[in-house]
Homo-oligomer: A and B are copies of this chain.
Amino acid sequence: MSSHLFDQAIALTPLAPNLYRGETSEAFENMVGPFGGSTAATLLNAVLLHPQRLGDPVSLTVNFAGPVAAGEFEIEATPLRTNRSTQHWLILQKQNGEVVTSATAFFANRRETLTEQPLGPPAAPAPQTLQRIDLSIRNWFRQYDFRFVHGIPLMRRPADQPADTESLLWVRDFPERALDYASLTALGDVFAPRIFMLRETFTPSGTVSMTHYFHATRDELEKVGTGFVLGQARASRLHANYSDQVAHLWSEDGVLLLTSTQSVYFKE
C-alpha cells in the first residue's frame, strides 16, 4: 500500500462479494468523525476496487446519515444496473449494522465528443505567490495545502469587502500526491459550511448530502498530476436550518474538473 496517509485512509479490504471492510483514519479526523471528503472518497473507492466496475465515475451522491465512529466499518457496494457502457451503484457504509452513510454513483465509459466549457475559472493570483494557511485545529486540515485568495471561514473580512458566502482558494494534497478520482472526490469537500462566511464564531453545522459531477477524464487528471486545483464555493440560499453550496474545481490551466453541490445543516 502507498505510504500516503490519504491512501491509508481510503483503503478497503474485500470481505465477500460487494462487501468491504475499512477503518477510520486519525489523520482525517474532523470534529465529529472523519472529514466527509475522505468518507466520500472511501465509498467511491469501494466501486473503484470492485471487480464488476465498468468505466470511470461521472456522478456521485453521498448522504451523511449519522456520525461515523472511530474504528472499523463495512461498505456494501452493489451494482444496481449495468447497461452497455454505463453502470449505476448503491453504496452503504455501516457500523454495527446501522447505516452511517449512503451513496449512489454513476460510472461510464466516455468517448470523445464536442467539448465546451462555458464556465471559466475566476481570476486568481498563482498559488506560488500565496502563503499556505495554517488551519491545523482539525487533523484533516493538515493533509491539505490551502492557499486562500479570499473567503477564509470565521475570519473578519476587510472593511472594504462586502460580506458574501464565496470562498476562492488553491488546494492540493499535503504532502503532494498525483490527482485521481478518489482525491478529487475529497478535494470537492474541502470548503467549510457557507454559514461560517456569515459568522465569526463557530456554530454546529455539517453536510447532509453532497453531489459531485466529474468532468475530468483520466487523461485530464494525469495532466494535473500534483498541481494545485482552484476551488470556488458559494451558497445560493441559507434558510430554516439548511443551506446549499455550489462549488467548482479547476486545474491550474483552467480546465473544469468537478462541479459539486451540497446541502448543509446549520443550527441557528
Contacts and interface: CB of A to CB of B under 8 A. Distances in A.
How many copies of the polypeptide does the oligomer hold?
A: 2
Given A81-B65, A211-B211, A110 B244 contact: no
B113 A244 contact: no
Given A65-B88, A119-B237, A98 B81 contact: yes
Interface string A55-99: 000110101011000000000000011010010101010000011
A235 interface: yes
Given A99-B88, A114-B238, A114-B268, A81 B58 contact: no
Given A61-B61, A259-B244, A235 B118 contact: yes
Given A104-B102, A164-B118, A113 B83 contact: no
A59 B237 CA distance: 14
A183 interface: no
Interface of A: 58-59, 61, 63, 65-66, 80-81, 83, 86, 88, 90, 92, 98-100, 102-104, 106, 108, 110-119, 164-165, 195, 198, 208-209, 211, 213, 215, 217, 234-242, 244, 246, 248, 256, 259, 261, 263, 265-268
